[in-house]
């Protein structure tokens, strides 16, 4: 059997053009939580880290639509050069937020280690594309990415076998308190929001967190 063709991640973004698609509905949930986080920080300086950011619309779309992002310092990490170009173009339209879009492998801690701890971590479209062992490793490493009280927004399909119960349990075991878990009945996506209630840990460099299997 020949190996499966690699996913075309630019084409993966196409359903965003349809506002009724599950992907657009998922985006709306993620953006709502990003907006809530922005409001709650009340203008205080804040760092954001988005791994496997795609074209960055979950964060950049919210920043673009709101004016209260003067002190947001965001790092987006994305492997696909075309999506990096799109994200950078969107970032350039933002008046005040400082956004860097790093082109490279987000699984490599060294690429973004200097930009953590972050106050908001986005793990959207990641946990469903890596092995269960890599999910566990990534979740166990989150305390190294998070500042005190940081928020993590993550997504994962509930396609069988549904890993979301294990993800929520693991986050709890790693010092996170669940803020929200949204899993509409008529779709497979889910969006989780967790707040880091533990003590931040120094980031361990020289590591790989995951490998995409798709």
Ligand X SMILES: C[S@@+](CC[C@H](N)C(=O)[O-])C[C@H]1O[C@@H](n2cnc3c(N)ncnc32)[C@H](O)[C@@H]1O
- Report the interface residues with ligand X, using CB under 6 A: 9, 12, 52-54, 58, 77-80, 83, 105-107, 124-125, 212
Number of other CB atoms surrounding residue 13 within 10 Å = 18
Number of other CB atoms surrounding residue 43 within 10 Å = 12
Strands 189-196 and 46-51 come out as: unpaired
Instruction: In angstroms, give the least distance from the CB of 14 to ligand X.
Output: 11
Instruction: In angstroms, give the least distance from the CB of 23 to ligand X.
Output: 7
State both tokens at 209: 């967190």
Tracing tokens 């490998």 back to the chain, one arrives at: 211
State the Rg of the chain over Cα: 16
Q: What is the dihedral of CA 49, 149, 132, 87, to 10 degrees?
A: -20
Q: Which is nearer to ligand X, 68 or 105 (CB)?
A: 105
Q: Which is nearer to ligand X, 121 or 150 (CB)?
A: 121
Instruction: In angstroms, give the least distance from the CB of 210 to ligand X.
Output: 7
DSSP string across 182-194: E--TTSSEEEEEE
Q: Which is nearer to ligand X, 54 or 117 (CB)?
A: 54
**Contact assessment for residue 126 and residue 210, using Cβ atoms and an 8 Å cutoff:** yes
Instruction: In angstroms, give the least distance from the CB of 40 to ligand X.
Output: 22
Q: Which is nearer to ligand X, 175 or 187 (CB)?
A: 187
Q: Which is nearer to ligand X, 154 or 176 (CB)?
A: 154
* Partners of 100 in the β-ladder: 75
Instruction: In angstroms, give the least distance from the CB of 139 to ligand X.
Output: 17
């Amino acid at each position: 059997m020949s190996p499966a063709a690699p996913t075309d991640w630019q084409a993966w973004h196409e359903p965003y053009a349809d506002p009724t698609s599950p992907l657009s509905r998922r985006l709306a949930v993620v953006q709502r939580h990003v907006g809530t986080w922005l409001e709650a920080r009340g203008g205080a300086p804040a760092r954001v880290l988005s791994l496997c950011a795609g074209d960055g619309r979950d964060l950049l779309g919210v920043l673009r639509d709101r004016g209260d992002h003067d002190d947001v310092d965001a790092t987006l990490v994305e492997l696909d050069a075309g999506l990096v170009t799109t994200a950078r173009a969107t970032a350039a339209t933002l008046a005040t937020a400082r956004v860097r879009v790093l082109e490279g492998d987000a699984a490599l801690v060294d690429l973004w280690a200097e930009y953590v701890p972050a106050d908001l971590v986005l793990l959207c479209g990641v946990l469903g594309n890596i092995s269960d062992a890599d999910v566990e490793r990534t979740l166990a490493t989150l305390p190294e990415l998070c500042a005190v009280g940081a928020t993590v927004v993550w997504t994962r399909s509930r396609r069988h076998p549904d890993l979301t119960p294990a993800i929520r349990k693991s986050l709890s075991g790693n010092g996170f308190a669940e803020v929200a878990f949204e899993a509409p009945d008529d779709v497979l996506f889910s969006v989780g929001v967790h707040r880091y209630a533990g003590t931040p840990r120094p980031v361990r460099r020289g590591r790989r967190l995951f490998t995409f299997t798709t």
